[in-house]
């Protein structure tokens, strides 16, 4: 892909959508569980790499960046990373640092990612509805699609930012195919939370935090 800070990720996903829109629709029709949207992008970071994370909006503008994350696991399906006291920069230039260790789980074939935050009262989860992640120019990139799900240690959850999603899908002209994917992937995410699967499995965050601590 040609050089371009903010446009690399949006151009990639728009081209991916154009090539695969029919395939995506048929996958959802053919797969009753609607669990996965497969991409063929094979470039992945190496375990031990320390790389930044960039979040964009559908219009190509930067949304939020994290200055570094250490890669603990990397495959064509998911990337697991960790960070603590990470510098975060918002789209308006405001900067702040995270205050607790966090394990981040990025899917390369699902339309959400999960941040597991280790706090004194247990593991809290913050889930972002987003495009699958893209590893490009030594940066993990994804498009944030507004909707979030907050999960507390007893696994009760709350869907956030629904009004923002309704506003942005009109302002930024989210394609119908993307809206359909997001609705179904939200159901997949909620199912994972209820079943305590993947990053929600008991002990998952603590295991990877211990791996991160030992790797320092």
DSSP string, 78-96: EEEEEESS-EEEETTS-EE
Reported as type and span, the H/E element at residue 3 is none
Rounded Cα distance between 91 and 39, Å, is: 28
Does residue 119 carry a catalytic annotation? no
Rounded Cα distance between 160 and 87, Å, is: 24
168 Cβ contact list (under 8 Å, min separation 6)? 57, 58, 145, 146, 174
CA-based nearest residue to 103, from 199, 216, 197: 199
Q: Active-site residue among 19, 20, 64, 167?
A: 64
Q: At what angle do helices 7-30 and 176-195 cross, to 10 degrees?
A: 70
Active site residues: 64
């Amino acid at each position: 892909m040609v050089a371009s800070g903010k446009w690399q990720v949006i151009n990639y996903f728009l081209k991916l959508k154009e090539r695969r829109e029919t395939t995506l629709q048929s996958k959802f029709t053919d797969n009753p569980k609607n669990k996965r949207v497969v991409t063929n992008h094979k470039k992945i970071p190496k375990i031990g790499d320390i790389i930044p994370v960039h979040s964009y909006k559908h219009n190509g503008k930067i949304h939020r960046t994290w200055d570094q994350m250490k890669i603990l696991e990397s495959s064509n399906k998911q990337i697991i990373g960790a960070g603590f006291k990470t510098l975060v920069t918002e789209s308006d230039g405001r900067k702040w640092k995270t205050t607790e260790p966090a394990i981040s789980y990025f899917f390369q074939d699902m339309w959400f990612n999960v941040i597991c935050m280790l706090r004194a009262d247990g593991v809290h989860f913050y889930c972002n509805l987003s495009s699958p992640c893209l590893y490009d120019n030594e940066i993990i990139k994804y498009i944030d699609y507004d909707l979030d799900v907050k999960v507390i240690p007893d696994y009760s959850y709350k869907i956030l930012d629904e009004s923002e999603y309704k506003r942005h899908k009109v302002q930024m002209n989210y394609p119908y195919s993307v809206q359909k994917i997001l609705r179904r992937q939200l159901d997949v995410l909620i199912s994972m939370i209820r079943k305590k699967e993947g990053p929600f499995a008991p002990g998952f965050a603590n295991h990877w935090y211990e791996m991160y601590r030992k790797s320092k």
